[in-house]
Amino acid sequence: MERILLVCSGEQSRQALAQLLSEHCHGQIHHAQAGAAARRMMMDIDFDLILINAPLSDEPGDGLARHAVRTTGAAVLLLLKAPLTEALFAAMEDLGVAVLPKPINRSTFSSSIHLLRAAHSRLLQAQSQARKLQKQLEELRLVSRAKCILIETGGLTEPEAHAFLEKQAMNRRMTKADVARELLQSRD
């Protein structure tokens, strides 16, 4: 289920945008009327999409978009009055913030939401892959450090140290990383 934060100061605009969002997104829509309230909500909830209808009652809105991109993994859509869109478009694009001019064109809004959802999905996949690779790298480091200890203190060659760790892992039904971790902890 998607978690969406709609930041909008005006009640009529909030209702209209919530209606548009509900047509394209299936999830829980949270509302904030000001940037400060939105920032507090971002600390507590992991949002998938943050839509900011600028200006807000307490700030212009572009600062909140920058904050959202820096502190969350959410896709961010900033709605600005047409003259402001041109001035901020390049800077926001560089940060990864999608910008749409107001008044909103329904089909452009729909396309933007679909593109943001697709981009967010790809980002989540990339983050998951990065975590897996980071874990593999940490495990390789553990095994390498354990092999170094076996080479230095046990007089083994690198292939012998590797075979030792592999055999221990197989015999004890553990991963090489877990065997290496135990070996390193026993040396401390």
Can you count the helices (H) and strands (E) in the chain?
7, 5
Q: Residues 74, 50: contact at Cβ < 8 Å?
A: yes
Task: Indicate whether 85 pLDDT > 80.
Answer: no
Q: Which pLDDT value is given to residue 88?
A: 80
Among 21-25, 100-104, 160-164, 179-183, which is the least confidently predicted range? Answer: 21-25
Per the prediction, the chain carries an average pLDDT of 91
Q: Where are the domains of the chain?
A: 2-104, 132-187
Model confidence over 20-46: pLDDT tens digits?
Answer: 888 888 889 999 999 999 999 999 999
For the domain bounded by 2-104, which CATH number is listed? Answer: 3.40.50.2300
* CATH class of this structure's domain 132-187: mainly alpha
pLDDT for the residue numbered 53: 96
Measured between alpha carbons, how far is residue 86 from residues 50, 57, 73, 168 in Å?
Answer: 21, 22, 25, 63
Under 8 Å between Cβ of 71 and 63: no
| d(C-alpha 9, C-alpha 53), whole Å | 8
The answer to whether the CB of 56 falls within 8 A of the CB of 10 is no
Using one digit for the tens of pLDDT, what is the confidence trace for 99-123?
999 988 888 988 888 888 888 888 8
